[in-house]
Amino acid sequence: MSDMTVPPAVRQLRELALSAACAAALRAAARLGVADALDDDPASVDEIARTVKADAGALRRLLRALASNGIFTEVTGDRFAHTDASRLLREDTPRGLRYTTLWATEPWTWELWPRLDEAVRAGRSVFGDLHDKGFFEYLHEDAPESAAVFDRAMTQASALSAQALAGVLDLRGMAVVADVGGGQGGVLRALLERTPALRGVLFDLPEVIADADPCLRPGGSLGDRVQLVAGDCRREVPVEADLYLLKNVLEWDDVSTVATLRAIASSGRPGARVVIVENLIDGSPELRFTTAMDLLLLLNVGGRKHTRAGLEDLIGQAGLILGRVEPVNSYLHMFTCVVSA
């Protein structure tokens, strides 16, 4: 009898070549609200279909495709139940990943992926070829829904790491912390809640600052300890602080990274601390996630996830003095620098 086993390499490559279907299925489930339609008990496909207003036959196919990847599980007779991973797609899951999933699969990503060979050949972003403007301009001017998803995805992602960062960041002797590119302010909020004497500055693009966490705005519970500043950190960071934090911001082109670090170096007094937090290509156990993000950053902003040596080099080019490099958690590293005299 002939050997009917499909060689693992064949299976691997076939599955990978169709892995866009997996990302699309996750997106469809997140947009339909399938995870929210299912509680702790298994439910039939018909019940779920009624709740999410979908065609039952097509929904069954979607659920089977997801279940083959461990997202939901098929129990007896046409009934599906949650797995740990599918629960993360629920809107009400603390530290969930619904918006991260939507962000990673937004319509602009599907325009960009087929052009990866062009981006690799040219070694630059292909976003401008498609949209005639930079990625963040496009996001805020032409794709407000996607911008809103981005802000919520960043907030969800920082909820996962804000407490870890607050736990390791040494704030002794610090009166003012500026979170540059701080998004809606999730990380700053965690730092202020942990350190009652601390004051904070949230710096980001105007559209993002306008949507800052209500508790950081005037009248909010932390509002009297926070200054909200809108601007472009590549041009200037007109803020005086004892510590400048840059978490997952320096992922664009190297020129912008060095410009941002120089802008901070020229605002900060000598000895002020600059803390850069990034997922490193060579320091993360999540190599598939980090390398995939690295490619998406090449496509949309001509950016990158850094290696440790690569980021150290850019810090040096900006004239900052690098001190310790240490882990924040299993997937983030913190580079502590000071502004030179």
Ligand X SMILES: C[S@@+](CC[C@H](N)C(=O)[O-])C[C@H]1O[C@@H](n2cnc3c(N)ncnc32)[C@H](O)[C@@H]1O
Which residues would be at the binding site for ligand X (CB under 6 A)? 136, 154, 157-158, 181-183, 187, 204-205, 208, 232-234, 247-249
Reference 228, options 159, 180, 168; nearest CA is 180
Please give the C-alpha separations between residue 163 and each of 157, 167, 336, in angstroms, as whole numbers.
11, 6, 18
Closest to ligand X by CB, 199 vs 305, is: 305
Reference 153, options 88, 85, 231; nearest CA is 88
Reference 250, options 286, 301, 323, 177; nearest CA is 301
Q: How far apart are the first and last CA of the chain?
A: 78
Closest to ligand X by CB, 35 vs 212, is: 212
Closest to ligand X by CB, 86 vs 256, is: 256
SS3 call for 338: strand
| Least distance to ligand X, CB of residue 189, Å | 11
Per-position DSSP letters for 28-43, written without gaps between them = HHHHHTHHHH--SS-E
| Least distance to ligand X, CB of residue 148, Å | 12
| Least distance to ligand X, CB of residue 280, Å | 15
Closest to ligand X by CB, 59 vs 212, is: 212
Closest to ligand X by CB, 29 vs 153, is: 153
Closest to ligand X by CB, 70 vs 206, is: 206
Please tell me the distance from the alpha carbon of residue 21 to that of residue 87, in angstroms, as a whole number: 20
| Least distance to ligand X, CB of residue 246, Å | 7
The angle at the Cα of 278, spanning 124 to 152, to the nearest 5 degrees, equals: 85
Sheet bearing 73-74, strands edge to edge: 43-44, 79-81, 73-74
Q: What residue is closest to ligand X based on CB? A: 181
| Least distance to ligand X, CB of residue 98, Å | 16
| Least distance to ligand X, CB of residue 137, Å | 10
- Residue 295 phi/psi, 5-degree rounding, is -70, -40
Pairing assessment for the beta strands 73-74 and 79-81 based on DSSP bridges: antiparallel
Closest to ligand X by CB, 48 vs 201, is: 201
Closest to ligand X by CB, 54 vs 162, is: 162
**Is 159 in contact with 186 (CB distance < 8 Å)?**
yes
| Least distance to ligand X, CB of residue 267, Å | 13
Radius of gyration over every alpha carbon of the chain, rounded to an integer in angstroms = 22
Please tell me the distance from the alpha carbon of residue 174 to that of residue 243, in angstroms, as a whole number: 7
**Is 299 in contact with 309 (CB distance < 8 Å)?**
no
| Least distance to ligand X, CB of residue 104, Å | 12
